[in-house]
Amino acid sequence: MKKLLVAFIMLFAAACAHAQDKALLDKARSEGRAAFYANITAVEPIIKAFTADTGVKAEYTRISTTKFVATAITEFEAGKFMADVVQGPLPILELLKAKGMLAPYRSPAAAGYPQWTKKDDHIQLFGIEYVALIYNKELVKKADVPKRYEDLTHPKWKDKIVMPNPANHATTIGWLIGLKEHVFKSEAEWMKFVKGLAANKPMFVASLGPTPAPIESGEKWIGISMPKYIITKAPAPLDWARVTQPLLGTPRAIAVTSKAPHPNAAKVFIDYWLSKKAMGMLAKDVGEYVLAPGVFPPIDGMNKAKVIAIRELSDDETKKWGGEFKKIFDVK
């Protein structure tokens, strides 16, 4: 009898949830569309699939990370902020929340996500913008592939490394500090690594985006870059160093805006975005590291990697450490 009662309760709850989902979808369809502001790239397949599966049109506007906050706040204060959903690095969404620009929404699609991904009632984490040592597998012998971050300081890598400028690229500055806080046992060991890396005279580029090109061409053999380029740059001869230490990255988040012109469509969009189908597309097609349980990018060994979300540095910390790295790396 008890088992029958439990089964009935579960069936009733499922029926109620289905009715709620249908009611929300009907409202979203009556609104017609959902406007999505994001800094993430190559998500057009998800946008197209969302429209096909829900009957709600999604409109995607990409805003670069460096311009995101200023653009969003300026539009919001002028009463012209048309986004229903915003996606970006966690610190950006936290700034928008502080300005009253986000609305509370707990998506049922996030029920299976790790508890730490549910920052609060407003913000949901869905991925980590992870960084790794990426190398040209046609040039680097298997025996020479770094097994630890410290291996990148070996003199054999001199003039063969590419990385974003550590004096002014905030993500790289944060990554280096993340190594200090999560990987190295002492500040002395960490500083030895930083100085050893600098001694190998890396080539500096403006951001992570340009890092794979010189590795692919053979101009450089290895770099501080992103594993997703193994997917997006295929068939380029790129691979990642399976170091014994964790990979680090900045958490990605998503939220509904407080003055969403289409609030129901916004909720439906977030539910879809957090679904295993959409996260699977993001992992498979773009190589992103997502937080949906059991979903991994099709990069050999990545399902066994430990990936840690690091904190974002304050502006003062970024400025301070950027100045220190400018001296250490002798950035001109």
Q: Distances from the Cα of 64 to the Cαs of 206, 228, 322, in angstroms? A: 14, 18, 21
pLDDT tens track for 121-169: 999 999 999 999 999 999 999 999 999 999 999 999 999 999 999 999 9
pLDDT tens track for 220-235: 999 999 999 999 999 9
Q: Which of 55, 39, 2, 46 is nearest to 264 (CA)?
A: 55
Question: Can you give the pLDDT at residue 19?
Answer: 43
- Has residue 106 been placed in a domain? yes
Question: Can you give the pLDDT at residue 332?
Answer: 87
Query: Other C-beta atoms within 10 Å of 312: how many?
Result: 18
- Shared-domain flag, residues 81 and 160: no
- Shared-domain flag, residues 319 and 280: no
- Shared-domain flag, residues 319 and 178: yes
Give the rounded percent of residues in the chain with a pLDDT score beyond 90: 83
Which domain covers residue 200, as residue numbers? 129-249+306-328
Over residues 4-8, the mean pLDDT reads 42
Is the per-residue pLDDT at 66 higher than 90?
Answer: no
- Shared-domain flag, residues 311 and 290: no
- Shared-domain flag, residues 134 and 262: no
Is the per-residue pLDDT at 5 higher than 60?
Answer: no
pLDDT tens track for 90-117: 988 999 999 999 999 999 999 999 999 9
Q: Which of 41, 31, 45 is nearest to 84 (CA)?
A: 31
Note whether 307 and 247 are within 8 A (CB).
yes
Task: Label residue 137 exposed, middle or buried (CB < 10 Å: 0-12, 13-18, 19+).
Answer: middle
- Shared-domain flag, residues 264 and 212: no
Is the per-residue pLDDT at 51 higher than 50?
Answer: yes
